[in-house]
Amino acid sequence: MEVFEEATKDCEDEYLTRVFGTIADYNSLNDCVIKLFDAMGGIGISDKAKELSKSVSNLDILSPVAIFNMVIMIYSDARNAKGALKVYHHMIATGVTPVSFTYTILISTLAQDFSDVNFLGYAKKYFLEMLDKGMKPNPTPYINVMDAIAYRETEEKAKVFLEQIKAKGFILPHHTPPRTWFSIQRRPLHRSIPGTEDVC
């Protein structure tokens, strides 16, 4: 429980403070982690979610990376990018290495939160970081970042980002999954950016 308590102790959201307060012991923490990862398995990022959930269910003690991912997911579900980013920074500071699943959640959450102009920059930064680490992002974070760029930035900046990710080996997806839990419920704005017409 120590990792969970550290990850949630500075929560500034009254509602989420109550949510975290319902996780009072190790059994409830374990149940929450497995339940959340199983739920994520059905909405577009199933492989990474199920893989992490399986490794958790086979352990006697929850791994720190699983706990941090769960807390980030809860912030993300509440559309609280600031909190999710704060937990991610705490995760790094404690020496816990983020996995592909971590980046997928964090990037999508940051890209869709327009409350801070810096969030999109962070989303792009972490997408590039994924590629630098040899991870292969699924279409979900890519779509959300491109949607945000199309909505908030210039066409030139979109082209620059596309060139950056292509240079790092990212292949633009030709087929994308149905709009998921992370996706903005509107027409995909990335289609308005030249060079991405074949994404959907």
pLDDT for the residue 175: 54
- Domain assignment of residue 53, yes or no: yes
- Domain assignment of residue 61, yes or no: yes
Question: What token pair was written down for 100?
Answer: 């592909």
Q: What percent of the chain has pLDDT above 90? A: 28
CATH number of domain containing 13: 1.25.40
pLDDT above 50: residue 200: no
- Domain assignment of residue 68, yes or no: yes
* DSSP class of 96: P
Write out the residue range of the structural domain in which residue 99 sits: 2-192
pLDDT for the residue 43: 44
- Domain assignment of residue 199, yes or no: no
Q: CA dihedral defined by 68, 74, 77, 80, rounded to 10 degrees?
A: -80
Positive or negative, the CA dihedral 81, 85, 91, 97 is positive
Mean pLDDT, the chain, integer: 77
- Domain assignment of residue 200, yes or no: no
- Domain assignment of residue 129, yes or no: yes
b (16+ CB within 10 A) / e for 119-148: bbebbbebbbebbeeebebbbbbbbbbbbb
Tens digits of per-residue pLDDT, 127-153? Answer: 999 999 998 888 888 889 999 998 888
Tens digits of per-residue pLDDT, 32-48? Answer: 777 766 666 544 544 55
pLDDT for the residue 49: 52
pLDDT above 50: residue 98: yes
Average pLDDT of span 170-192: 48
- Domain assignment of residue 114, yes or no: yes
Domain total in the chain: 1
pLDDT for the residue 4: 83
Q: What confidence category does residue 192 fall into, taking pLDDT thresholds of 50, 70 and 90? A: very low
- Domain assignment of residue 62, yes or no: yes
Query: What single-letter amino acid sits at 120?
Result: L
